[in-house]
Structures are given as C-alpha cells and as structure tokens.
Structure 1
C-alpha cells in the first residue's frame, strides 16, 4: 500500500515537498550556526541554560542537514520501485539520532530550570552532573538508533510516515513499534514532561508574586540564572509546533484514517516545514526575546536633536541623554 502511494505521487508533489524541505533545512542550518556564533560572541550571556540551548541547536542542525541532503536523493529517484541504499540508511541514522537527542535536550532544559527556580538547586554545579547531562542525551539516542541499524529497519519508508527523507523501512515487521521506539514514544514523553514542568513553573511564579506583591525575578531565585532565562520555559512549545504535523500524520496512519488528498498534502507540507525548522524558530525566539542578543544584532543608537546619530554608543549614555 505504501509503495502504491509512492508510485502514484505526482511529480508536482514530489517537487514541492523537496523544495519546501530543502528551504526549511537550509534556513535551519544557517540559523543554528548563528546561535552558535552568538554564544561565542556574547560571553556575558553564557550560563548553563545557554549551554543546553547550544547542545539542542547542534542536534537540530544535524536533523535539518540530514533532511536537506535527503531531498536530492528523493527528487533524483525515478518514479519506480524505491530502494534502500546506503545513502538512505546513513541519512536515516543521522536524523533519527539527532531527533532523539533534540527531545532529550528539550527535556533537560526543562528539568534544569525546574531545579534552579523551584528547588533553588544548580544540578550542574558538580562536574559529574554536567557529564551525565551531556552524555545521556547523546548516548541513549545513539544506542537506540544503533540497535535499529543492527536490525536493519532504517531505510526507505516511501514517505508513509515522514516527508521526503528516510526513516523506518516500510517492509519490516513491527513497523509501528520501531517508529515508536525510534521517535514517537520519546517525543510524546517529552511533551508530557515539559508541559507539566511548565505548569509547575507558572504556579510557582504566581505564588511568589502573590506573596511578595512584586514581579518574580529569575536571577533572585538562583545565581546560576539570568532574568532573560525565563524565555526558555516555553522552549517545548517550538518543538511541539514544529513536529506536531508529522505526529498527527503518524496517528492518522496508525488509525487508518483516510484524509482528503488536499488535507493529506497540507499535513505533508507542514511536516516538511516543521521537522527541519526547529533551529530556525529557536533562532528567532532567542534573538527576539534575549536583550543581550538584541543588542548584538541591533546595537542601541543615541537619539539627538535633528535626527539619529550614525555612531553606536553605550546604552547607559543613551539613557542619560534621554
């Protein structure tokens, strides 16, 4: 059935999905590199929260790059029986591992913030804790994907459960089980954990604001935090908005729900955009709401009589002039 769907896929749909994925992946790779550059260029903004964001960004870059290079293979194939070549298997290994790492890093950010804000404990103070928080989001995904590779389940799924990239082969036994183990189960667990922690953080801040009758500041909660770190409490939302479309397609496929072709194609387009775009959205999110990043991209300029100066000056001087 999946192969028949592949053979019936129109050339226009193949071109459009490849084009969307290519553009989304390229933008995400460039945005991820910009986040890494900003982390290096603004040392005053560095803390463990930003370090975890950098780790998440590296994983998202690999996902976007894997999806990007997959479009060349997908578009270049003839409209005939798809095959499981080494290129497809390698791409599936890269994107499956990086996607799993992205789920783990998103969860790690939420857990770290909960400990620092609510429990007032910096779990990254100990070197052993730092090593564990760095190794676990890498080791577990590599182990899971390595097992899948050993069983020979990575490969061409003829776009039944993904966009124009390889994931789990369509001709293997227990395909649904492998898709859960190599992605969807961990993705759902990430949503549950991060949303629960988000609600707990919101309740904690509401209680603090009510008791003190003033705005709660994250920097007062623990010295390891900055006030601008509050933007990271909704980092899970960007993961959800980016990847929910592929998850919904997976649910429709699992429940054997037949969608109208236009609706099916719309979900496929949204998945092609979302699955490769998380680093891009994190870039916009990071630069828009982080004051240090905004100052790096758009330095404050002094307002004087007769117009604006073309010389960048320190923010304190601008404030005094006003």
Structure 2
C-alpha cells in the first residue's frame, strides 16, 4: 500500500484568488436575486428556477469563503459545520442546474404543459435529497478535515473514514458526473429542436427569417444554450480531476495550477450564472443599467432639487389618486 499523500499546502496567493472568486460569486448570485425582486414582470418560470439555483450558489460561496479563509488543519466543530453547508449547497446547485435543463427540455422539445406540480418535484429533489445526504453524513461523522487534497482549504469528507470514496460520491461526485452527461445531452436536444423550428419558419416565412432583427436573436439564444453546459463542465472538471488523482494517490493533486482551477471552478458558479443570465441578457442588462444610472443621477441631483423652490415635486401632491401622464413621463424616460 502506498503511503498517503501529505496535506496540500495552500499559498497566500492561491487563497487570495479563491477568496476573490467566492466574493464575485456571492455578488453575482445576489445580483440575480435582486433582479428577480426588482422586476416582477420578468419572473418567468425558468427565472424562478434560476432564483433557487442562485440561492444555493449564494450559500455555497459563503461556506467556501469561510473554509478558504480558515484553511482548516484538523476536524473541528466549525470545520464540520462549514463542510455540511458546502456539501448541501453544492449538491443542491447540481440538482437545480439539471432541473432547469430538464424543465427547458420538457417545455420546448416535448411541448408538455407544466404547472406547480413539476416545480414541487424539483423542490423535493433539489433541496430534499441534498439535505438527507448531508444530515446522514454529519450523523455518521463523515464530514471533516480532508487535507485539501479534494478541496482548497475547506472541509468535506474526512479522509480518515474507511468508506470515504463512497461518501465522496454520495456528497457530490456522483451528481457532478451525472450532470456532465445529462446537461450536454438535454441542451443538444433542445438546440436541435430549435434549429428544426427555425428551418420550418424560414421555409414558410422567408421574409421573417431574412430580417436583420431575427437572425441575431436566434444566434444569441443558440450560443447561450451551448454555453450553459460548456461553462458548467469547464468550471467543475478540475474538481473531478483532483478527485481522481487523490484516488490514484498521485502527487499531481498538489499542483498549484490544479489547486487554483479547482478553487475557482467550485466557487465561481454564481458569478458565471450572473454573466450569462444578467449581463448577457439584453432585457435584464438594459433595465439594470438604467436603474443604476437613474439612482446615481438622483443622488447627484438631490442637493439641487432641495435648493430649487420652483421644482414641481417639492410641493405635496394635491391628489394622491392622480396617475396621469405627468407622473408616468419621468419613469418612462428613465427606463
């Protein structure tokens, strides 16, 4: 039997990079939650599912941040707590990511009507299964110090456990590998169905298919569908690579580049979702920038408004029930 690998030493630069990734993921997930709260008219069913994914990524970023900041060197109560929170949120993130892909497949390809029943099933699976696995792992004392060979400073499955491989699979890896297979298949089927619909549309409506405004929107939607599984795999594959290297007892698991890629991949999911579904979504991006610019303008202009005695809104409204054009013009001009 080969001797076990020594703990992976985390350098200060590596910790800083992963902490920054955690912070960006936290901000990205928070921004997704805020946009969902700000504009009720944009709360479509897929974006509701995205909200639950963002909540899981939010908790994941916080737990990973604490773990990297502490850089645990033994099993302690806060190590177990952090490991339990990251296990639950990370596994839940896998389930919600697959739930969104499954929902799009059912509605777009199958054309089946969906209601609250399907969303309830998603809630039971995406919150219930990770919670059950995490509670069992904590109760059986499987969460603890892992020498950073399968993590980057945070706690996960205790490497002293005899059945550690089984619990590594149950608490993340089996769902991660399942997502590697499921997501590309579902999104390729969705893209294939959309391409067929576009081909039929171009056959019967050639004027619309050749319109300049039609092709860019189609191209953007297709690219985003392809990017979803690609970005997920690019972020998560490094964690799987280090997991396999740990099972093989290979010293390459302590390679600094792999450690940094693993740390960024596990912590930046919320930031990647924010880039795709906020910054790269024209409707959300336009509203967000307009909202930020409007708030910034109001803050800069507030002293001038207070000093102006002739400003219309400085007087109390005579009739609170009036909702005429005078009240809607500023709002329309700012958005």
Output the TM-score relative to the length of structure 2: 0.77
Of 225, 230, 242, which aligns to 2:235?
A: 242
What count of residue pairs does the alignment treat as equivalent?
Answer: 284
Q: CA deviation at 1:132?
A: 1.8
Q: Deviations over 1:104-156 (max 9, x none)?
A: 00110011001111111232x2x333222222200000001111111111011
Which residue of structure 1 aligns with residue 187 of structure 2?
198
Q: Deviations over 1:241-275 (max 9, x none)?
A: 222111111122223444396xx110101111121
- Residues in 1 aligned to 2:141 and 2:5: alpha-carbon distance in whole angstroms: 19
Answer with 1 or 2: which has the greater Rg: 2
Given that residues 106 and 235 in structure 1 are in contact (C-alpha distance below 8 angstroms), is that contact kept between their aligned partners in structure 2? no
Which residue of structure 2 aligns with residue 128 of structure 1?
117
Output the TM-score relative to the length of structure 1: 0.80
Does 1:56 find its partner at 2:24?
A: no
- Residues in 1 aligned to 2:248 and 2:6: alpha-carbon distance in whole angstroms: 19
Q: CA deviation at 1:165?
A: 0.4
Q: CA deviation at 1:234?
A: 4.1
- Residues in 1 aligned to 2:159 and 2:253: alpha-carbon distance in whole angstroms: 22
Q: Deviations over 1:80-111 (max 9, x none)?
A: xx321000000000000111100100110011
- Residues in 1 aligned to 2:141 and 2:19: alpha-carbon distance in whole angstroms: 27
Change (3 A) 1:16 1:108: same
- Residues in 1 aligned to 2:247 and 2:106: alpha-carbon distance in whole angstroms: 37
Change (3 A) 1:84 1:3: farther
Of 276, 290, 293, which aligns to 1:299?
A: 290
Q: Deviations over 1:184-229 (max 9, x none)?
A: 11111112111111111122122222233269x9xxxxxxxx9997
Of 85, 101, 104, which aligns to 1:94?
A: 85
Given that residues 96 and 145 in structure 1 are in contact (C-alpha distance below 8 angstroms), is that contact kept between their aligned partners in structure 2? yes
Does 1:166 find its partner at 2:166?
A: no
Matches within 5 A, 1:1-322: 4-6=6-8, 9=9, 13-74=10-71, 82-123=73-114, 125=115, 127-213=116-202, 231=224, 234-259=227-252, 264-299=255-290
Unaligned runs of 5+ in 1: 218-225, 301-310
Change (3 A) 1:53 1:276: same
Which residue of structure 1 aligns with residue 312 of structure 2?
none
> Which has the larger displacement, 175-184 or 101-110?
175-184
Unaligned runs of 5+ in 2: 209-216, 292-328
- Residues in 1 aligned to 2:261 and 2:330: alpha-carbon distance in whole angstroms: 41
Any idea what SS the aligned residue of 2:149 has? coil
Which residue of structure 1 aligns with residue 300 of structure 2?
none
- Residues in 2 aligned to 1:187 and 1:105: alpha-carbon distance in whole angstroms: 12
Which residue of structure 2 aligns with residue 307 of structure 1?
none
Change (3 A) 1:140 1:47: same
Change (3 A) 1:111 1:260: closer
> Which has the larger displacement, 234-243 or 106-115?
234-243
- Residues in 2 aligned to 1:98 and 1:291: alpha-carbon distance in whole angstroms: 29
Greater fraction helix: 2
